[in-house]
Structure 1
């Protein structure tokens, strides 16, 4: 007794008694398909939460928003406008402080170099001051970045978004806060409305201009 290539038991040795397959036939091998290489799909672009531009990596190429940071607020309660704080060393303001012999005027020098800084305001309330780990002070508008203005208090003033506008409140700073080249200091703990383009003067030479961006 022999077994044909199909697996049948046959008494005949030339052809299978069951299926008739020649006993000399060899099983036909079935070609095995080569595995197909898996090509990763390209990373889909997502929308920048700050400006809406398409973003593939971490940083938006249009506005520079870091996707690792919290997204700007959205929804019915969020402001419909975007504010930017522009920080400058203001020589004209410094000269006025010197002329009126403001606090520490004779000991604070005007910086020889101060690159303009721009801070996009995200949220509803922003502290102006100087960072202090020991005191737990983490201002959004941090004026401790060198060269730091010695006349700015750790907790100097607070800016709040109210509707489509801003309000500024000096929270009892040592040297006070003024607006738009005025020498009159704002009363502490009293909210003052701000418009786009208003200049806030703090310390001995720092001016912060708030603009719609």
Structure 2
């Protein structure tokens, strides 16, 4: 019997995918998974909405995602990736597979929203219009994210203990790779075919870091070539330059910023020279 190690109802899509549809943890009882989830670097934020949360809830669905109905505590749904500031997708939207009730919503190429949706989160700051959007994309293209495995981070996570710590092994080989930051919204997480979620920085592996959620964090471009990072409430949290990130609170990140997530993953932001 498949089950979430955090006690959530994984849902039909989660069982089919092998991961909890609420928190992204690997399910137990699924052949080939083992239900591994590394210890959190800080107290994991609750995926359930809090009455005192200041984040806006979806219109008509207090505390629930406008696209898939999953509990949300901030702007981005950790389950399907929908931006709660945008208009909810309808059954006639080609980005929503028939019969899913909006559960397959994804952004188009380059992080753009579908027709009828509001402007992407993070496009403010005095820049508006098609020309300004093109300038922002040009600035974003100067940046890249370097993804690699960090043994020191892994050792710190394992030292904290946890029920699954003994089963999480550091990968014997993890190729270092660079991912261009093309667009104004860069999602970080794991590919989910059942949720139709394809993050721009895909950490599905191999090797796969079991502590990374489907939508773990989002990088948002700002004016003047700046970036901020938002963790929408990942199961195991995010650390930026050695400090845990509070869920749904934007954190500025710049050239050389070190982003740790999961059991061993390190993402370093680097800015190249503009041409």
Question: Which category of TM-score, normalised to the shorter sequence, fits these structures?
Answer: 0.5 to 0.7
* Alpha-carbon distance between aligned partners in 1 of 2:226 and 2:217, rounded to the nearest angstrom: 17
Q: Secondary structure at the match of 2:166?
A: coil
The within-5 A match list for 1:169-184 is 169-180=230-241, 182=242, 184=243
Q: Secondary structure at the match of 1:76?
A: helix
Normalising to structure 1: TM-score of the pair? 0.62
* Alpha-carbon distance between aligned partners in 2 of 1:198 and 1:188, rounded to the nearest angstrom: 18
Q: Secondary structure at the match of 1:106?
A: helix
Whether contact under 8 Å (1:105, 1:204) holds in the other structure is no
Normalising to structure 2: TM-score of the pair? 0.48
Would you tell me which structure has more strand in proportion to its own residues?
1
Q: Secondary structure at the match of 2:270?
A: strand
* Alpha-carbon distance between aligned partners in 1 of 2:201 and 2:192, rounded to the nearest angstrom: 13
The CA deviation at 1:102 is 5.6
Going from structure 1 to structure 2, the CA distance change for 1:103 and 1:191 (only over 3 Å counts) comes to farther
Q: Structure 1, residues 75-115: CA drift from partner, whole Å, max 9, x if none?
A: 43323531101000001111111122267332211000011
1:93 aligned residue (153, 167, 172): 153
The within-5 A match list for 1:41-190 is 75-77=131-133, 78-79=135-136, 81=139, 82-101=142-161, 104-163=164-223, 164-180=225-241, 182=242, 184-190=243-249
Q: Structure 1, residues 96-154: CA drift from partner, whole Å, max 9, x if none?
A: 11122267332211000011011001110011000011011110000002001001011
Query: Which structure is richer in relative contact order (CA contacts within 8 A, separation 6 or more)?
Result: 2
* Alpha-carbon distance between aligned partners in 2 of 1:154 and 1:103, rounded to the nearest angstrom: 21
State the number of aligned residues. Answer: 142
Q: Secondary structure at the match of 1:95?
A: helix
Going from structure 1 to structure 2, the CA distance change for 1:88 and 1:102 (only over 3 Å counts) comes to farther
Q: Secondary structure at the match of 1:126?
A: strand
Unaligned runs of 5+ in 1: 1-69
Greater mean deviation of Cα atoms: 142-151 or 91-100: 91-100
2:262 aligned residue (180, 189, 203): 203
Going from structure 1 to structure 2, the CA distance change for 1:165 and 1:102 (only over 3 Å counts) comes to farther
* Alpha-carbon distance between aligned partners in 2 of 1:91 and 1:98, rounded to the nearest angstrom: 11
